[in-house]
Structure 1
Amino acid sequence: MDNIHDISCGKTDLRLSLFSLCVVIFSLFMSGANAQNNIRPIKIQLNDTKYLFLKFPAEVNYADMGSRNLMAEKSLDRIIKLKAEKPNFDKTNLSVVTTDGKYYSFIVEYNSNPSYIAVDMENVKDSITSTDIIPSTGIEVSNIHTTHIILPTKVSDIAIGHKEVISEKAQTIDNIVRVKSVVDENGKFYETSITVVTVDGKIYPMNVGYAKNPKEMSISFSKGGNALFEDMSIDNENMRKISEWIIRKGQYINDLGRAENKMIFQLCSVFTDQDIIAFYLYAQNNSKVDYSIDFLKAYISDKQQGKKYLTQDEELYPIYSYYSSDEKIIHGKNHMDIVLFYKKFTISNKKILYFELYEENGGRNLKFTAPSKTIINAEVMNKLD
């Protein structure tokens, strides 16, 4: 049959054999003599610039697209992704069979601006309702900035709806995705989508628009925004214990910090062990007004050598973050201890390390620098008692 489009993941062929298909049809028939009368097609919307993800309650082992103008691929066992090959296609159909013997029938229509890009089919009956739609997040991309998306766990699949946007998993990091536009503000940019699927089967759909200077360039779905590295020598529980040990040690580095607006933000100490490096930061609120932490980031930048010198920043993503207070609020006349763990790194004497602390809905933002020797002079943990 020329109109059969098989979903494939790697080299897996999902076409049911004639025998298997007969078994499925027979099981559907045996579930009730009038069962076929109860299968109503579900309407879905597709276009050529955004993927639609469908998540089923059981593994998908057969799918048939009614037109060559549509494509379907398997993302994970229970997830398929759909997209039109060209705009304004004629109405067609999609049939899906899952391993629990259920048959799903869909009517597929073109929509230039679909109202959803991910659906959980768990409770869908005759039509898709608002409770079935997996909410999407709006993000902005640029050709001169890179937007980073931080996921709670390892990334399994990334789907970009249009070629004007490029994306890839950050090198050596399992849960961070880099996204960028390949056109500038004068080029033709199509509103598109990026959808990320993680190994635990969760779907993170995002609508993507262009902005020369995106408002947010770090989108985190992960509590704490921690990066995940392969084959690290230490786990989160040990890093928590090490954090408490570092704070108890109470060693301090002089003159690395910033004091402003009755706030103090400083680097206290740096420790290293095997393949990690840890920075102990201290923030003190000397005012009576609570300080709510919006975010804390570290990055490496070139040393500026004149006004015309172009610098390039490289943001660092912690593999673990320890805060002495879970609510991340530094109450008035109080302080907070913070320990950030990174995969071990060094920098040349032409680079400099920045730490920035931002207040949520406030202007008491603090920034200071640390020279390359701060990292080189880090204390070795296993030599400390």
Structure 2
Amino acid sequence: MRECVRVILCVIMLFSGLSMRAQNLITQVKGKVIPMNLDISKWKTTNLIFPYGIKSVDRGNQDVLVQKAKGVENILQVKAANDTLKETNLTVVCADGTLYSFIVHYLASPSQLNFSLGKVVAQSPWALFASGDNNEAKVNDLATALGHKRPVIKNIRASANQIGLRCSGLYIKDDVLYCQLELENNSTIAYTVDQLRFYIQDQKKAKRTASQQLQINPLYVAGNSAQIGSRSRQNIVVAMPKFTIPDQKFLVIEMMEKDGGRNLLIRIRNHHLTHVIQL
């Protein structure tokens, strides 16, 4: 009899423990992502425009056809493979960690084909990226904010033919280097930028030999880097992976004019990077 009582008590305690664990798990849920209804057609393409680049897309049904718009990162094009598509879902995760959820229905002629989406229809942030990864949205936002800072560097500049190029600030945060540039056009002719290059080059160039260049590809450019209007001045900020400059080398920033010859370059040496401002 006593053995039966012990067994019953053990069973009760076991289920009580499981119940408490389940309750603890439930209390950890942050909230709900409310899905948005989305009508798609076999005959028309629906465009979903997100505020940041698309990192992940999951379709509940293979008859939902999706692709990123050519050449861009934040527009998802959606279409139905056939007119027998049954109700399903679509999940999209963006670079800032926001998760977007859609309930997808088939409709031969949707009344709306283009959706500009923001954080109003997303719970942000739900996604956490791998340790060490630079969140694209944070890099973009910081680069944009730095474009409004006052110059802190004065002696890294070049000018010719009434065009000016100046490095006015160097900053670093989370292994990303931010270079603030001032572009100036004192002429009456607009300046169209053909190339804005960043590369590390030897200080001394041997005769009749090509100087080796190490190209640096920006992560993001904030501001108008395509054109400088006549008699105007503007700031841009270029975000790059952090680096150091070896001895006898320097960083070259080169701006070249499209269909013109008003080209400029400035050089940044390693001692400038040692005084970079930590954010």
TM-score if structure 2 supplies the norm length? 0.51
Q: Which residue of 1 aligns with 2:166?
A: 266
1:308 deviates by 5.6
Aligned to 1:244: 144
Match in the other structure for 1:136: none
2:227 is matched with: 329
Deviation at 1:309, TM superposition (A): 6.3
Gap change, CA 1:346 and 1:152, over 3 Å in 2: farther
Give the CA deviation at 1:358: 1.1
Give me the whole-angstrom Cα distance separating, in 1, the residues matched to 2:208 and 2:227.
Answer: 39
- Contact (CA 8 Å) 2:134, 2:174: kept in 1 or not? no
**SS of structure 2 residue aligned to 1:341:** strand
Aligned residue among 237, 251, 256 for 1:339: 237
User: What amino acid maps onto 2:232 in structure 1?
Assistant: N
Shift of 1:247: 2.5
The amino acid that maps onto 1:247 is G
| 1:372 and 2:270 matched | yes
In structure 1, distance between residues paired with 2:254 and 2:141: 25
Give yes or no for contact 2:205–2:211 (8 Å, CA) kept in 1: no
Aligned with 2:184 (options 284, 289, 292): 284
CA distance in 2, matches of 1:294, 1:254: 25
Query: What is the aligned partner in structure 1 of residue 15 from structure 2?
Result: none
The answer to whether the 8 Å contact 2:151/2:168 transfers is yes
Counterpart for residue 275 of structure 1: 175
Q: Alpha-carbon deviation of 1:152?
A: 6.2
Task: State the secondary structure of the residue aligned to 1:238.
Answer: helix
Shift of 1:231: 6.4
Secondary structure of the residue aligned to 1:249 is coil
| Alpha-carbon distance in structure 2 between the residues aligned to 1:252 and 1:286 | 22
Amino acid at match of 2:264: L
Please state whether the residue corresponding to 1:258 is helix, strand or coil: strand
Structure 1 CA distance for aligned equivalents of residues 244 and 189 of structure 2: 37
The question of 1:349 aligning with 2:244 is answered no
Contact 1:252 1:267 in 2 (8 A): no
Structure of greater relative contact order (alpha carbons < 8 Å, 6+ residues apart):
2
Identity of aligned residues (%): 23
- Which structure: larger Rg? 2
Q: 1:373 to 1:261 in 2, by over 3 A?
A: same
Q: What CA distance in whole angstroms lies between the structure 1 residues aligned with 2:191 and 2:244?
A: 32
**SS of residue matched to 1:237:** helix
Aligned-partner residue type, residue 263 of structure 2 = N
Q: How many residues are matched?
A: 156
> Judging changes above 3 Å, is the alpha-carbon distance between structure 1 residues 307 and 337 closer, same or farther for their aligned structure 2 residues?
same
Q: Is the 8 A contact 2:146 2:180 kept in 1?
A: yes
Could you tell me how far apart the structure 1 residues matched to 2:205 and 2:255 are? Answer: 25
Match of 2:156 in 1: 256
Offset of residue 254 of structure 1: 2.2
Tell whether 2:264 aligns with 1:362. no
* Deviation of the 1:255 alpha carbon: 1.8
Higher helix proportion (structure 1 or 2): 2
In the TM superposition, what are the counterparts of 1:161-176 in structure 2 within 5 Å? Answer: none
Unaligned runs of 5+ in 2: 1-61, 64-70, 74-129
Alpha carbons 1:233, 1:274 under 8 Å: kept: no
Q: Secondary structure at the match of 1:248?
A: coil
Specify whether residues 232 and 282 from structure 1 end up closer, same or farther in structure 2 by C-alpha distance, changes over 3 A only: farther
TM-score by length of 1: 0.37
Considering only aligned residues, what root-mean-square deviation do their CA atoms show, in Å?
2.5
Counterpart of 1:242, as a letter, is L
Task: Give the residue type in structure 1 aligned to 2:240.
Answer: Y
AA aligned opposite 2:192:
S
Which sits farther off after the overlay, 338-347 or 240-249? 240-249
**Within-5 A mapping of 1:41-80:** none
Deviation at 1:290, TM superposition (A): 0.6
